[in-house]
Structure 1
Amino acid sequence: MREIDAFSLPPPSTERLRLLFLTVAAGAFFGGYWFLVLARDGWRAQNGACGQLAQVADFLDCSTRILVLQSLAPLAGPALVAVLVVLAYVAAPAMITRWHRAEPYAPWPEAVRATVEEAGLSRPPVLMVSGRGLLPRMFTYGRYPRYRVMLPGSIRLYAVTDPSTVTATLAHELGHLRNRDVDRTYLAMFAAICLALVTVVPMGLSAAMTTGATPAFSVTWRNAVLALLVAATFAAAIRAREHDADLRAGQYRPVEMDALLSGGRQERRGLLRLHPRIARRLEVLRSPALLMRPSVAEAVASGIAAGVIVDELGVILQAVLPVPSLVAYWAAGAVAAFPVSGVVGLGLWRAASARTLTWGATLGSGVALGAGLVIGALLAPRSSVQWNLWLSGAPDYTAVAALDQILPGTAIWMVAVLLLLTTLITGWLALAARAWIPGAGPRAWRYAAPFAALLFAVVMGTWFVAARLAAAERWGPADLAALVITPQVALFLMLLVFLSSLALWPRVRTAPAAAALLPAVPLVLVLPLAPLLVAQAPTPVPVGQAARLPDSTQAGAICLGLYTVGTAAFGAPADHPARARLGELLRDSDDPLLRQVGDMFLRGARARSQDLAAVAWTAFVRRCDHLNRYPGRSVPDPVSPFPVEGW
């Protein structure tokens, strides 16, 4: 078997650290949403002030500004964590040096000097000797471009009595510098600590003290899952970087590293194992291919973090960007797709370069990623509970994407489609790796990564838009597909399918069997879009008695009818008579703003304007939400048809 270059691609520790940062960002989003939106009392007064405005245009502008602020507020969570992490990262080297009362190590013995020179570093580190008791091991610290290696106080003795152990251990620490993982590791450690101090613990206490049992439990268990995910990812990243450093040191000190690990002692295990087992380290040193296998656990974890990010960031971008909802969610998907591609895709590519990739591992990674995205959607703050039923500061129900509100058949279909699409993308990555690596080498990944991220972004963004629509209304699979995948979107998806097939052309030229299967690739990729072929538009909603709002002038009764009927009151896309009837009903309402909304519906019906009808519908839904949760005046309850006196 050919010799494997473990560093022809970014090492495994790199992708685990990317996953950690993505997970910390997801947890910080959760904290920002809780403290600045859900648990803040000031939103009720601001929304109430909007409801007192006399003109519907002013009401829409005011409520839209509040929704935009509520959408942007969660960004303060990741921003605060980032600021604290940077401050800790800047201060850490000086604090570590002061804590250990360290002094520069001089003069260097010849064996130490030779080891540093053989490492081939452009900037050799400063060797420091700890003056604080017996240091059990060496470690690397500092920040670019000035790094340090902390040595135990007994280094001068051991450099004479056991030089091979000293040089092997030092080579391992220099391996961290060759991998450029020192900065990333300290940033990851501070990110995990800051997330716990700023989000996990305070949010659990806040939820327990300020809400009822149901929302407090919902927040606590989701918070706990994200915290465990961060801790497990950090431990996995630290273990992986130890393997990477061993392999780097083994490139120029193989005999000493083998002897060091053969006679090494295992560290005492704490709550999380931060170092691999000595026996495992020795196995990987002798057979680097053991590291070059895709991990199902990493695929699930990356899917969970990406699901939370896309769910939250999609709402933010939809509120602040003047683009269609689907485009905003594609942009949110792109933010999460690059780390996902770097974790899942790079793992597959690395295994293909080592010729250890199997189709079972490929398909398993795809299914695991899709399952992680579904779990992430369930963990996202906006999917936790119907927050507007518990907290007055929560955004209106149109921002909620609770998956338990989707029709069971539609939910099963959506999950199946997501698992199929993520599996197809990982399958494409495996085929692309086998097509490109023989000619261009493993570093062809730099060309595959952006396109793989684009595929992941489109799939994640489209699926989360569909989830929001399905949670808001009881859509069937065919109607939901037709709502999301318009003809323009379908053309774009077909272009991606064509480019994906074209990327496999080198494989087709060298593998006749693959040439026979290639025409089936577009058909398989388009399979989830099959409902579009039978439904070019949503099934027209009946505008009969079942879709009508109650014939009443009371705003409370009309809004109650809206919550019952839903978008059926709006009618089909071109059903302007339905909007005219809706306008006539609202024009006689006892609420001044609803009367103005009725006039908007009537003008839109006369002009046959879809845009004006959409604005009127937004104003209608938002006004009913305000009357329900922020009444500036008493809204009369619907009059009972039964007598209340004289019985």
Structure 2
Amino acid sequence: DAHGTLDVELAALHERTGIRSALRFRVDPARMTSGAAVYGRTGSYTVCLHAGLLARRGTDPEGFRAVVLHELAHVHHRDVDYAYASTALWRVFVLLALLPTLAMDAWITVLALSGTDSPWWPDAATVIFASAGSGLLLAGLVHLARADLLRRRELHADVQAVEWGADPAKWDRPEPPGNASVVPLLYRLTAPLRTHPGWAERRRVLVDTGRLSRISPLEMFLTGASAALLTSSLGTLNFLGEGSTSLWLAVALVAPVICLVLGAPIIRARRTPVGRTGSGAVAGLWLGCGLLVGEWVESGRYRVDWFMPQPQYLLAFLFIAAVPTVWWSQTLRLCLGLPRRMQRRAAAVLCAAVTAAVLWSGLWWGELGGRRIALGGG
């Protein structure tokens, strides 16, 4: 920055965003790409500009400003904190849960194959494989949740950058050459595994920002799987006692998430002239699919066969999830139509409590009889 113009422009962009956190700009001369990255800690962040981005500034100043504003939007939304937290949780899960479980399963398998006599072998092999499979499935769910979080933060940063004055035409870029060689169907199927959205998805969101407020099937699926896995995990804690205490705790954590995720689009749609939202049935079915997968994984601890004797009874979880979601989606509209604010709030709290109670009753049926019936015991 021999002439000092870069520093002046970056300061102007920083002032335009109104970010109050301490912010520094650095340049990575080894990176020839026209991108940037942001890192740091809460209250103190650093935006690292790639050398290729500085070269782009001379030929495409609007593109340069769009990239910088996108990174500043990450700072504004505290996406660095979200990214660090999700990455830390992922690494803790892999190091302290997944790898020890797989190592233990491998050691038991080695002992069994080395000639150790056991009346439980080879039938117990199914239990070992089920344990390893459930760990890998949980790893996939955790990665899906982390990737979905980071991908949505990128889309929110794009929208914020455009609101600050970035040119939307700068998002009209082709996919990287490596993506073009991938089979289109395979590329679409692997999209949920990537932490960055494609340029086509980014352009669609900029054209219709309402996409960010719509219910994501993946989010509902992960919420359902979390509810089922959380219920079983809490049930292993002895200090909670016997009964439905662990189930109540799981519902108390999951039900507010469901109410917020389903309620936010309804409230936003009410503020627009022609805003409409669905009944919540599709979201409920995706929630039920998550419950079904989580229940199937947890039931693997109690059997030595690959499939349950009567797995069709697990389909009841689709109904268990759809009923409270449809109830909440429909009654919230009635609540919003009440004349007074206090009435709306009281009615919404009451309907949320009913939603939690209905969800609890369905999951409690699964604990008392659903799992036993599916296992062939009734």
TM-score category by the smaller chain? 0.7 to 0.9
The answer to whether the 8 A contact 1:366-1:426 is kept is no
Q: Is the 8 A contact 1:267 1:275 kept in 2?
A: no
1:342: how far off? 4.0
Letter matched to residue 335 of structure 1: L
**Equivalent position to 2:302, from 381, 386, 398:** 386
Equivalent in 360, 364, 368 of residue 469 of structure 1: 368
Amino acid at match of 1:358: T
1:367 is aligned to 2:297: no
Deviates more, 1:139-148 or 1:445-454: 445-454
Cα pair 2:292 2:314 within 8 Å, conserved: no
**What is the percentage of aligned positions where both structures have the same residue?**
25
Tell me the distance in 2 between the aligned counterparts of 1:227 and 1:447. Answer: 40
Give matches, 1:167-566, under 5 Å.
Answer: 167-210=65-108, 212-253=124-165, 256-263=166-173, 266=176, 268-269=178-179, 272-316=193-237, 319-321=238-240, 325-346=243-264, 349-350=267-268, 356-359=275-278, 362-380=280-298, 383-386=299-302, 404=308, 411=313, 414-415=316-317, 418-428=320-330, 431=333, 435=337, 454-470=353-369
CA separation of 1:448 and 1:181: change in aligned 2, threshold 3 A: farther
Matched AA of 1:184: Y
Partner of 2:112: none
Q: CA deviation at 1:267?
A: 7.4
Report if aligned partners of 2:35, 2:52 keep a CA contact under 8 Å in 1.
no
Contact 1:200–1:223 (CA<8 Å) still a contact in 2? yes
One-letter identity of the residue aligned with 2:213 = M
Query: d(CA) in 2 for partners of 1:375 and 1:160?
Result: 53
CA contact (8 A) 2:34 2:50 kept: yes
**Partner letter of residue 206 of structure 2?**
L
* CA displacement, residues 219-253 of structure 1 (integer Å, 9 cap, x when unaligned): 12222222222222322222211211111111121
Determine the C-alpha separation between the residues in 2 that align with 1:174 and 1:407: 50
Amino acid at match of 2:21: R
2: CA distance, partners of 1:448 / 1:227 = 39
Distance in structure 2 (CA, Å) of the matches to 1:313 and 1:432: 35
Within a 5 Å distance, the mapping from 1:135-150 to structure 2 comes to: 135-150=33-48
CA distance in 2, matches of 1:199, 1:161: 50
The CA deviation at 1:311 is 2.4
Q: Which residue of 2 aligns with 1:39?
A: none
* Deviation digits for residues 266-299 of structure 1 (CA, Å, limit 9, x no counterpart): 4744964332222331232132123332222321
Partner letter of residue 152 of structure 1? Answer: H
For residues 77-98 of structure 1, give each alpha carbon's deviation from its aligned partner in whole angstroms, at most 9, with x where no partner exists: xxxxxxxxxxxxxxxxxxxxxx
* The structure with more radius of gyration: 1
Letter of the 1:282 partner, please give it. R
Preserved contact between residue 332 and residue 351 of structure 2 (Cα < 8 Å): no
CA contact (8 A) 2:34 2:54 kept: no
Compute the TM-score of the two structures, normalised by the length of structure 1. 0.47
What are the ranges of 5 or more consecutive residues in structure 1 without an aligned counterpart?
1-105, 391-402, 476-563, 567-647
CA distance in 1 between partners of 2:335 and 2:206 (Å): 25
Letter in structure 2 aligned against 1:374: L
List aligned pairs for 1:116-135, cutoff 5 A. Answer: 116-135=14-33
Distance change >3 Å, CA 266–CA 416, structure 1 → 2:
closer
Q: Distance in 1 between matches of 2:205 and 2:301?
A: 46
How many angstroms does 1:118 deviate by? 0.6
The counterpart of 2:64, out of the listed 158, 166, 182, is 166
- TM-score, normalization by structure 2: 0.75
Please give the alpha-carbon distance, in whole angstroms, between the structure 2 residues aligned to 1:352 and 1:301.
Answer: 27
From the superposition, tell whether residues 417 and 290 of structure 1 become closer, same or farther in structure 2 (CA, over 3 Å): closer
Alignment of 1:566-581 (within 5 A): none
In structure 2, relative to structure 1, the CA distance for the partners of 1:413 and 1:189 (3 Å cut) is: closer
Map of 2:118 onto structure 1: none
2: distance between equivalents of 1:150 and 1:439?
50
Displacement of 1:183 in angstroms is 0.3
1:178, distance to aligned residue in structure 2 (A): 1.8
Greater shift, 334-343 or 178-187, is seen at 334-343
> Which segment drifts farther, 143-152 or 455-464?
455-464
The Cα of 1:107 is off from its aligned counterpart by: 7.5
- Within 1, Cα distance between the matches of 2:17 and 2:239? 50
Q: Which residue identity lines up with residue 294 of structure 1 in the other structure?
A: I
SS in 1 for 2:214: coil
Equivalent residue, structure 1, for 2:182: none
What residue in structure 2 maps to residue 114 of structure 1?
12
8 A Cα contact 1:295 1:347, kept in partner: no
| Partner Cα distance (1:118, 1:433) in 2 | 39
Q: Distance in 2 between matches of 1:446 and 1:185?
A: 34
1:122 is displaced (CA, Å) by 1.7
In structure 2, list runs of 5 or more residues that go unmatched: 110-123, 180-186
SS at match of 1:385: helix
Contact kept in structure 2, 1:406 and 1:471, CA below 8 Å: no
CA distance in 1, matches of 2:271, 2:177: 33
Confirm or deny: 8 A CA contact 2:47 2:71 kept in the other structure.
yes
Q: By how many angstroms is 1:258 displaced?
A: 1.3
Q: What is the distance in 2 between the residues matched to 1:345 and 1:107? A: 47
Partner AA of 1:385 in structure 2? R
Q: Do the aligned residues in 2 keep the contact of 1:363 with 1:423 (CA within 8 Å)?
A: yes
Structure 1 CA distance for aligned equivalents of residues 88 and 314 of structure 2: 40
DSSP-derived class of the 2:25 partner? strand
Contact 1:131-1:153 within 8 A present in 2 as well:
yes
Check whether the contact 2:105–2:128 (CA below 8 A) recurs between aligned residues.
yes
Displacement of 1:108 in angstroms is: 4.5
